[in-house]
Amino acid sequence: MRIRIVDAFTDRPFAGNPAGVLLLDDVFPDDDWLQNVAMEVNHAETAFAHRLPEGGDADWALRWFTPVAEVAMCGHATLATAHVLHITGAHEGPVRFATRSGVLIATPAEDGSITLDFPTAPLTPVEIPAGVAEALGAEPVAAFDTGPNVGDLLVELADEKTVLGLSPDHRALGAYSSRGIIATARAADPALGYDYVSRCFFPNVGIDEDPVTGSAHTALAPHWSPRLGRDDLTGLQASRRTGLVRTTLRGERTLLTGRAVTVIEGELRA
């Protein structure tokens, strides 16, 4: 079968977040095989999808695996999968994915971008956990639980410079949530084309720092939109690769818009 590596939330190769994408001919193989392929690909996520019968609530079934675990939600690998379906002609127009997080819709636009319709993360303010400042390397000004689908602790920091300068103890960060930590701050200069910055550290699923995280933006959008007074925002995830995610808050749903580029296509022989 064909396997592709797609850089998501970017319009150029070697940026954004790479994901493996496999379109399967039939139902999902056993979980051990899926996990082994994801371990071999060794990117933040590998997406596996197969077509569903016509007339149902969804068009394709979709699952995501990191090198060490299956995850409940992944934005960049969903964007990558929709990109592959679109450029190969395997599916035209909006595509509905049946996932562990419900039905997720990806809609391609004429300009080449793709918009994902995801559930908004329910943010709950929490006490800043003892020790998190030491593990992160900076003192948070606020902390929030992001609910079961995202599974992170979101922490707001004083400013963009602090977020960019983080050098955390990744092992220590794993104690504070099921997946990891989202660190964020308001953009220092919105004239540069983004409204807020973030970095994401996910040691509990084998990812010290995720390059660009769509699912995290379902929590970042409801955090920043009320503070900035706009439903439509752009977030910069300031990893080494960097990427931009346009977010639109619509109550219980958040729209995530970005682009994707296929960088590798080959044959899986195992």
Distance of alpha carbon 209 from alpha carbon 168, whole angstroms: 10
What the block records as the tokens of 247 is 């977010």
50 contacts: CB under 8 Å, gap ≥ 6: 23, 24, 25, 26, 27, 28, 60, 61
How far are the Cα atoms of 10, 49, 74, 101 from residue 105, in angstroms, in the given order? 19, 14, 13, 11
Catalytic annotation, residues? 45
Owner of token pair 């056993």: 30
Distance of alpha carbon 14 from alpha carbon 8, whole angstroms: 10
* Residue ranges with strand state E in 83-231: 95-99, 102-108, 114-119, 124-126, 142-145, 152-156, 180-186, 196-202, 207-210
Owner of token pair 């504070």: 176
Task: Note whether 48 and 34 are within 8 A (CB).
Answer: yes
260: which strand partners? Answer: 8
How is the chain split among helix, strand and coil, in percent rounded to 5?
25, 40, 40
Residue 8 belongs to what H/E stretch? Answer: strand 2-8
CA end-to-end span of the chain: 9
